[in-house]
Structure 1
Amino acid sequence: MPDTQDRIAAAIGLRLVSVALFGFMNAGIKLAEAGGATLIEILFFRQFGAALLITAVIIAGPGLRNVRTSRLPAHLLRAAVGLAAMFCFFSAIMALPLAESTAIGFTIPIFATILGALVLKEPTGPWRWGAVTGGFVGVLIITRPGVGDIPVRGAGLALLGCLLTAFVSILLRRMGRTEPTSTTVFWFSVLSLPPLGLLYLFAAQPHVPLVWAYLLGIGFLGGAAQFAMTGSLRFGPVSVVVPMDYSSLLWATALGWLLFGALPAPATWVGVPIIIASGLVIVWRERVRHLRAIATATAIP
């Protein structure tokens, strides 16, 4: 069994790979849209490609018998909320520059803190509430509602997507007590295909080969990124791997400039550090709380 240092290195490496893959997937979404693909087509191929990849990996590994579940209603709810979040995120990516949509995505830990306090009744002290406030100040700086160049609709969809994704994290935390990661990932991909397939029947249209390549690439990149992201959590704690997600801004900035000739607005460079700092404070406080819980559980009476 590898030592702790090797496992941490693997966790960080997998997380950085997942960030890069998601960055290229997001760029593929904008390229597919520019080539004439609709949101429904992009969503369908994202899940179709991911389902093929995930099913193939499970068949080659533990086998499909390992994805049996007795919690189908929970998986249905997770799929419904996950699809709604994906709809919002993909709409935001299509409406906003890559860097700005990525930066707003950094608010997921902030929404997770709010929902954790409201839904799970998790203790939330002044450090976390201060981080929540600071994070939303960063969002206001980036979007500059009413005076900036960022479309309000796009920013609103991005924030709604973050809220829904944070809610998914709450669901996964509860489901994770009985459901392995591979089971959850498999059912999310498979259960989302029937509604998306039905919508795709009305949205399907011919495309040039390059656009078909974009659509297929979105699915396989998303599926591979999902595996790398979940795999990172097998080797390292959240407090180690989550800060790696902020490297996505580098990919978004580079790809936005190389593919679309767009660089982040000056306000984005001001707001992003505030959002990142807020997220890191939340991760730090989660780590502190976790260590205190361990110390309490192992204390000699």
Structure 2
Amino acid sequence: MLTEKNKGIFFIILAAFFFSLMSLFVRLSGDIPSMQKSFFRNAVALVFATIILCKNHISFVPKRENLLLLILRAFFGTLGLFCNFYAIGKLPLSDANMLNKLSPFFAIIFSFLLLKEKVAPYQVICVVSAFIGTLFILRPGFDNMVTFPALIGLLGGLGAGIAYTMVRILSGRHEQSAYIVFFFSAFSCLASLPFFIFSYTPMSLKQVGFLLLAGLAASGGQFSITAAYSHAPAKEISVYDYTQIIFSSLWGILFLGEFPTTASIIGYVIICGASVAMFLIRRKREA
């Protein structure tokens, strides 16, 4: 019988796979404004979430006590999404996803600030180490063409970290996972709609197809990540989120001919190493 933690691990790895595919399809869609890509990505997720709500007879009206948390989750999730899509278009796929995968470290920080979860000294060391690793990807002062998109990618990781913390709080309040996805998708569609209408860029059938595939993959990832954090807290399963870097690096090599730079690889090793160390130390202390 699967424990709640094992279910969380399964869903977070599944989410990593789906989100890596989403990133690949977004890149393959070509030179289209990030807001336009975001609209398609969220529109598909919104359709799936609406179908699930109707099928399960779940109300579309948010619970008053959860409304603020839903808005915060949607706002920071949308911010993270916009930044991530911008970074995907400007950086190697693995770099963009690595910066976005700093979200678990941000989730630990905001779990401490918002949920008052205790943070042990070793966790502080691991978080600091992760941000040192980030400098190898940002490469400040060495390549200004890379630094700005990388900083935007880092901001995306911050937004995602806060959003996942909100998901954890909402799950603790027994909010339906499907409704969390629905609210976020609807909010993101409305936020990107003005840009979609007034700055629309014509697309080929092939580009539309890739964006629809990105939306399908994102839907799978969104439902999976929401399920993961509803089964277990971020501090117990976040390490497995880094499997997305493996998937993304593989897609980048196979489909885009992208090979990470030496500096980026060093950054990956430091960040992933910090995450693994944090996980192993926690497990030993609990044992």
What TM-score, normalized to structure 1? 0.83
Question: What secondary structure is seen at the aligned counterpart in 2 of 1:63?
Answer: coil
Give the whole-Å Cα distance in 1 for the aligned partners of 2:113 and 2:266: 30
Shift of 1:103: 1.8
Matching residue of 1:69: 63
- 1:228-268 superposed Cα distances (whole Å, 9 cap, x missing partner): 22334456665664332222122111211222211111122
Q: Is the 8 A contact 2:46 2:185 kept in 1?
A: yes
Matching residue of 1:180: 176
- Larger Rg belongs to: 1
Give the whole-Å Cα distance in 2 for the aligned partners of 1:173 and 1:229: 11
Question: What secondary structure is seen at the aligned counterpart in 2 of 1:4?
Answer: coil
Shift of 1:168: 1.6
Q: Structure 1 stretch 12-21 or stretch 42-51: which is displaced more? A: 12-21
Shift of 1:19: 1.5
Residue identity opposite 2:197 in structure 1: L
Please, which of 12, 15, 23 is the counterpart of residue 15 of structure 1?
12
Q: Is the 8 A contact 1:107 1:279 kept in 2?
A: no
Q: Is the 8 A contact 2:100 2:160 kept in 1?
A: no
Q: Is the 8 A contact 1:17 1:228 kept in 2?
A: yes
- 1:123-157 superposed Cα distances (whole Å, 9 cap, x missing partner): 33321111121111111123321125871111101
Matching residue of 2:163: 168
Decide whether aligned partners of structure 1 residues 67 and 20 sit closer, same or farther in structure 2, where only a CA change above 3 A counts: farther
Give the whole-Å Cα distance in 1 for the aligned partners of 2:116 and 2:141: 35
Aligned Cα root-mean-square deviation (Å): 2.7
Q: Is the 8 A contact 1:116 1:170 kept in 2?
A: yes
Shift of 1:49: 0.8
Matching residue of 1:214: 210
Q: Is the 8 A contact 2:107 2:162 kept in 1?
A: yes
The gaps in structure 2 that reach 5 residues or longer are none
Matching residue of 2:269: 273
- 1:247-300 superposed Cα distances (whole Å, 9 cap, x missing partner): 2122111211222211111122222121112223444566678x59xxxxxxxx
Shift of 1:108: 1.7
Shift of 1:175: 2.7
Q: How many residues align?
A: 285
Decide whether aligned partners of structure 1 residues 103 and 191 sit closer, same or farther in structure 2, where only a CA change above 3 A counts: closer
Matching residue of 1:96: 91
Question: What secondary structure is seen at the aligned counterpart in 2 of 1:147?
Answer: coil
What TM-score, normalized to structure 2? 0.87
Matching residue of 1:229: 225
Please, which of 112, 123, 142 is the counterpart of residue 128 of structure 1?
123
Describe how 1:1-301 pairs up with structure 2 within 5 A: 3-4=1-2, 11-32=8-29, 34=30, 36-60=31-55, 62-65=56-59, 68-70=62-64, 71-148=66-143, 151-178=146-173, 179-233=175-229, 238=234, 241-283=237-279
Decide whether aligned partners of structure 1 residues 14 and 82 sit closer, same or farther in structure 2, where only a CA change above 3 A counts: closer
The gaps in structure 1 that reach 5 residues or longer are 293-301
Q: Structure 1 stretch 10-19 or stretch 84-93: which is displaced more? A: 10-19
Residue identity opposite 1:250 in structure 2: I
Decide whether aligned partners of structure 1 residues 203 and 258 sit closer, same or farther in structure 2, where only a CA change above 3 A counts: same
Question: What secondary structure is seen at the aligned counterpart in 1 of 2:172?
Answer: coil
Matching residue of 1:297: none
Decide whether aligned partners of structure 1 residues 171 and 230 sit closer, same or farther in structure 2, where only a CA change above 3 A counts: closer
Decide whether aligned partners of structure 1 residues 91 and 72 sit closer, same or farther in structure 2, where only a CA change above 3 A counts: same
Question: What secondary structure is seen at the aligned counterpart in 2 of 1:64?
Answer: coil
Q: Is the 8 A contact 1:128 1:281 kept in 2?
A: no
Q: Is the 8 A contact 2:22 2:218 kept in 1?
A: yes
Q: Structure 1 stretch 82-91 or stretch 68-77: which is displaced more? A: 68-77
Q: Equivalent pairs: percent with the same residue?
A: 26
Question: What secondary structure is seen at the aligned counterpart in 2 of 1:176?
Answer: helix
Q: Is the 8 A contact 1:50 1:220 kept in 2?
A: yes
Q: Is the 8 A contact 2:167 2:230 kept in 1?
A: no
Give the whole-Å Cα distance in 2 for the aligned partners of 1:109 and 1:127: 15
